[in-house]
Amino acid sequence: MGRLLPKAELHVHIEGTLEPELVVGLARRNGVTLPADGVDGLRARYRFEGLQSFLDVLNANMAVLRTERDFYDMTLGYLRRARDNGVRRAEIFFDLQAHLARGVPMDAVFDGLAAAVADGERELGVSAALLLCIVRDRGPEEAERVLREAIRRHRDRFIGIGLASAELGHPPSLFREVYAIAAAEGLRRTVHAGEEGPPGYVREALDLLGAERIDHGIRAMEDPDLVARLRAERVPLTVCPLSNVRLGIVPSLREHPLPAMLRANLMVTVNSDNPAYVGGYAEDNYRALRDELGLDPTTLATIAANSFDAAFLDPETRARFQAELRTGAANG
């Protein structure tokens, strides 16, 4: 077996990397009572029927995150697993609003995450950066207030923003002002759209929020004009196949639109989303595409190359990773 493809992971929520063992450990450390007993009890709850049922479990487990050290341990743990999955660059979402709502100080969140990102780079050789992820069902006013405060106090610690959580009924158009603030600050902008929501949400993300990447975007395939536009503009789509199956967004991997998206020449990347909950990390997704959908090595290398092209990297680092990928692909 050849070595792992070097790749960038562009769509991963740090709270979704909390493995049950760590949830139990942090609950003990912080004296938090969990909704289920032990690792097996937690895992038994990981049966999801759509996005909301997943979000309910995710949010319940998040209660164990209290201190800077918790955020550090979670993030460094993820970066170790990312490295073992061939990830050379990770752009990581974090749900700042959810932590503030539980009474965690903003500094604890940023200090823990930023320290892990720095140590991950130095000790593991994984390039990493943070994307502040707006929790869309908490509404635009809170998002605006929290973003302004994060910019004032921690601007150098995150490179951009995202928009996630419950999609239906919370269209991108509500967040124009939030994205205008981010754009004025030179922050990069991604938007979750077209996971459960309609293709029109993808258009709004592009036209009203200036999204540079669309997270998921699989429902764009229902709209041929939108597909043509995404192709012409080379809009990166951060697709998460195992997540889509586990959350019931698509019935099975065999019915996933990813092969059709590749045939349509869309700029597809493959990512884990919430790996501790949905059955796998980055390489697990690549492997599933190879083993269950029969994607060939050239196609998988193209997806990995897309991931470096779509990453928010400086040109030299991007070129270095692309060169690594070419060498790896030649040997593999």
DSSP helix/strand/coil, 159: coil
Q: How far is the CB of 326 from Zn ion (least distance, A)?
A: 29
In the complex, least distance from residue 162 CB atom to Zn ion, rounded to whole angstroms: 8
Q: Which residue is nearest to Zn ion (CB)?
A: 273
- Span of 44-52, 125-133, 145-153, 267-275 interacting with Zn ion by CB under 5 A: 267-275
Residue closer to Zn ion (CB basis): 278 or 305: 278
Residue among 9, 19, 195, 196 flagged as catalytic: 195
Distance, in Å, from the CA atom of 249 to the CA atom of 256, rounded to the nearest integer, reads: 9
**Rule CB under 5 A: is residue 91 a binding residue for Zn ion?**
no
Closer residue to Zn ion, CB minimum distance, 111 or 196: 196
Please report how close the Cβ of residue 11 comes to Zn ion at its closest, in angstroms.
Answer: 6
Residue 273 annotated as part of some ligand binding site: yes
Beta-carbon contacts of 221 under 8 Å, excluding residues fewer than 6 positions away, are 227, 257, 260, 261, 264
Place of tokens 């592009």: 206
- Are 300 and 262 in contact, with CB atoms under 8 Å apart? no
User: Annotated catalytic, 195?
Assistant: yes
The per-residue DSSP string of 197-263 comes to: S-HHHHHHHHHHH--SEEEE-GGGGG-HHHHHHHHHTT-EEEE-HHHHHHTTSSS-GGG-SHHHHHH
**What is the residue whose two structure tokens read 């030299």?**
316
Q: Which is nearer to Zn ion, 111 or 273 (CB)?
A: 273
Is 13 labelled a binding residue? yes
The reply to whether 15 sits near Zn ion by the rule CB under 5 A is no
Beta bridge partners of 231: none
Q: Is 273 a residue that touches Zn ion (CB under 5 A)?
A: yes
Applying CB under 5 A, what is the total number of residues that bind Zn ion?
1
- Which residues are at the interface with Zn ion (CB under 5 A)? 273
- Residues with catalytic roles: 195
